[in-house]
Structure 1
């Protein structure tokens, strides 16, 4: 049987040997495994971003791909180590700490198993409690990807309802006002990615080329308010001008043409960062950046 792809994600960075050790463990299981990196630049301990990056990526990989995601501030505690099977027959190996939130809510998970650490653990690593990414997740992921074990041999079956979910409020549209959160950044370019889907947005009767009023708040404190165009691409705004667009996961993004919106206005991400959008009544707007 042909081995599956193995894709790794961590918050370890590449400045030391942690990721390399995970590669080494996986290749010691099967030297012919094909191993790829999703990212190792998740901000330290940021489970939310780890969850989002999985959702951003997983659908574009072949069926049966095995993902290992290690953003694990609770390593060594009673949190469970699990393998989730998605509706598209992908596998995610991760701590059950919220990392599965976006995949569960946007794609779907049909089965969950707890990793039996008495069997699926790197030999002679039993006294180490701080590097489960190497000793349990990379090892189990490699064994699953290489068909050394089946999904059923990972461990006991859990109820999908036992998946830990991070708080993730739904976006809304009411009387032409669309409200949501800033979920994540398009990091390199500083664009804001919201949780507002294109389908929800068009319920407010907007069309490409419309001028929209955009307000951003952090903990109910307004940090930005201005008008911008709803465009198909960055070419629909002038250099340095802001715009609303649909990003690669079919959600609304906010950008500055060839600039970083996040840096320009000191915008962050998460539940406390709210965004509202409506058709602009007039064009007399000023940025608020206290």
Structure 2
């Protein structure tokens, strides 16, 4: 499973496929995404968190979002608690998995000698092809056991990105915008439905949503908490539970993020409060 910020306008991803099939011709190679915004390690970390849990045991993910394109960046391989593997630079890509799901083991990869890596001796900017894809394919095909990749290290020694806290208070829950949906423009927060449920809000109730950036209010409105987008008319905002069981904010058939210029990150703070106890039919 490959994830990069390369896009698919040139042959970079195809070259990675070629290395994988050269290592193991019968290997099943799939794409997680190659549309991570350039250099966005946080988004890469989030997309792994969004995806890894749903693949079978033993699946190997290769994630290459490496802004420095640095030969000094320590390559690592991690084993998750549910026995999936990720091969990636130690630059924060593992942050969400480590925080929300936990890691069973972490190894620092020692570069093997291989024809597939011959270019690595002179070429230092395409480690996604020459190193990470090779290691991932060798690991997935059983040619290179996880135990042989290199020395063990501990999860707390990995580079970690900052994650926003979720806090609950009297009639209030606060978190941050973790990511925005790149296609439909929904805003995905890090507020879990379990925290939101402490507010006592029921399906069909109204919620006051406030979004601030660096303590400056950027958006505030009341909207319905619904089970589906179809519960509101086209163009109406809503609060809903997304596929990761966190709270999302959206507009039915429009981009909430684009319309209100909302971005992701720990500085985009989202606060939700119960509004007046108004109920709507069909929510």
Q: Same fold (TM over 0.5)?
A: yes
Q: Structure 2: where are the runs of 5+ without partners? A: 279-283
- Point out the more displaced range, 117-126 or 201-210: 117-126
Cα distance in 1 between the residues matched to 2:69 and 2:252: 41
Cα distance in 2 between the residues matched to 1:199 and 1:146: 39
Q: 2:91 aligns with which of 83, 94, 97?
A: 97
Q: How far is the alpha carbon of 1:79 from its aligned partner?
A: 2.4
Q: 2:219 aligns with which of 194, 211, 224?
A: 224
Cα distance in 2 between the residues matched to 1:44 and 1:267: 18
TM-score, with structure 2 as normaliser: 0.95
Q: 1:139 aligns with which of 130, 134, 142?
A: 134
Q: How far is the alpha carbon of 1:220 from its aligned partner?
A: 1.2
Q: How does 1:253-264 map to 2 (within 5 A)?
A: 253-264=248-259
Cα distance in 1 between the residues matched to 2:177 and 2:167: 13
Cα distance in 2 between the residues matched to 1:125 and 1:216: 46
The runs of at least 4 aligned residues of structure 1 exceeding 4 Å deviation read none
Asked if residue 9 in structure 1 is aligned to residue 3 in structure 2, the reply is yes
Q: 1:47 aligns with which of 17, 41, 66?
A: 41
Q: 1:212 aligns with which of 183, 202, 207?
A: 207
Cα distance in 2 between the residues matched to 1:282 and 1:149: 60
Cα distance in 2 between the residues matched to 1:40 and 1:28: 21
Asked if residue 114 in structure 1 is aligned to residue 123 in structure 2, the reply is no
Q: 1:237 aligns with which of 229, 232, 236?
A: 232
SS in 2 for 1:125: helix
SS in 1 for 2:118: coil
Q: Structure 1: where are the runs of 5+ without partners? A: 1-6, 284-290
Q: How far is the alpha carbon of 1:263 from its aligned partner?
A: 1.0
Aligned-pair Cα RMSD in Å: 1.4
Q: 2:176 aligns with which of 165, 178, 181?
A: 181
Output one character per residue of 1:212-250: Cα deviation in whole Å (capped at 9) or x when no partner. Answer: 111111111111111000001112211110000000010
Cα distance in 2 between the residues matched to 1:193 and 1:238: 20
TM-score, with structure 1 as normaliser: 0.93
Output one character per residue of 1:9-66: Cα deviation in whole Å (capped at 9) or x when no partner. Answer: 0000000111111000010001111000000000000000000000000111010000
Q: Tell me what 1:4 maps to.
A: none
The answer as to whether partners of 2:70 and 2:124 remain within 8 angstroms in 1 is yes
- Point out the more displaced range, 120-129 or 205-214: 120-129
